[in-house]
Amino acid sequence: MRFVAPVMGSNQCNLWIFIDFPSNSHYILFMNTFLSFPHPGRPLVIAHRGYSALFPENTLPAFEAAISAGADMVEMDACLTTDGGLVILHDDTLDRTTSGSGPAVKHRLAEITALNAGDWYSPDFAGVGVPSLDEVFFALSGRIRVNLELKAPPRGVAGAGEQICLEAARAIVEHGMEESVLVSSFDRDLLIRFRELLPGVALGALGQGKENTVRALGALFAALGQRERGTRHAARAAVAELATGGTAAWRAENAVRAVSALSYHPQGPRVPAALVERFHARDVRVLSWLVKSDDRQDNWEALLAAGVDGFFTNHVERALEVARVMGGSKG
């Protein structure tokens, strides 16, 4: 896959995406202007579920706070309701972050948006509700980049994946978000279908768990030290292959290539610089995410040192300070 990116203005570029097919011919797959938003000249700081360190996650106050704090992008999760709508909710059940209970897909959109989504975090947010995708797009359109993660279709619900893609595509078009949204998912089939519906919208392929297991494998293979010499050499070769982006990168590249993704999103904090370089050589951006326990400064610094193009965090303002200091020359 390759990009051709002619500059169309001081802050605008149109990206024509090509992919190499077995015949070696090139097909124009889509034109994307996601990067037409002004770029900060450093790695992007992406507000994970909004400014979720200080506000209830995936709510309008969290997204507004992220904008006020200077985040470059907000990330949010979309779940399917029983009547085919999309609500902004991370879990497939309502219990953890709302006053409701049970699977989201068993409730109507109006029922879920009437729930309390702030009291679990703090009594100060007791009146905050679960927003629909339409509500969020209406509030954010034209103000900030949005990373919309499509959650995997609920099991046992016929046509759920198709409905998720159709509803997301409808909302993006109706709210004029085509050039400011990055649609991502762990579910490759969702992204493939979404690409068919809206070929001009940027896609991001999420990494399934930790793509780089070099340290764990290294420890494992070290335990084989008493075995015969050939086994040890094979083990070390396997570790070296992974360390340079071998098997893990191959899996990741397949995911990116399948949907002509603009970006790849591996789990941090141990993202090898070689893996980042491998994607950069293919003109693919690398945006890394962290679980809550790993979301701290030393890990942000490790990701920036590896050369990532951005990272997701709950701590927007602190992360911005680090990104400005360490990544001022990157863009």
Instruction: Enter the tokens of residue 159.
Output: 């046509």
- For residue range 200-247, list pLDDT tens digits in order: 999 999 986 544 443 333 333 343 343 344 455 555 554 454 444 455
Q: Who wins on pLDDT, 202 or 9?
A: 202
The pair of three-digit structure tokens given for residue 169, joined into one six-digit string: 């595509």
**Phi, psi for residue 180 in degrees, rounded to 5:** -130, 10
Full-model pTM: 0.80
Task: Look at residue 247 in the predicted model and tell me its pLDDT.
Answer: 55
Contact between 40 and 52 under an 8 Å Cβ cutoff? The reply is: no
Would you state the pLDDT for residue 231?
A: 52
90 is catalytic: yes
Model confidence at 7: pLDDT above 90: no
Angstrom distance (rounded) from CA 72 to CA 79: 24
DSSP 70: T
Any long-range contacts for 135-139 (C-beta under 8 Å, 24+ apart)?
A: 135/60, 136/60, 136/63, 136/76, 136/88, 137/171, 137/172, 137/174, 137/175, 137/177, 138/175, 139/60, 139/63, 139/64
CA distance 93 to 213: 30
- Given 48, 107, 265, 315, which residue is catalytic? 48
Kindly tell me if the per-residue pLDDT of 177 is higher than 50: yes
Domains of the chain with CATH codes: 40-208+240-326 (3.20.20.190)
48 is catalytic: yes
Looking at 26, 90, 280, 315, which residue is catalytic?
90
Strands of 15-20's sheet, edge to edge?
2-4, 15-20, 26-32
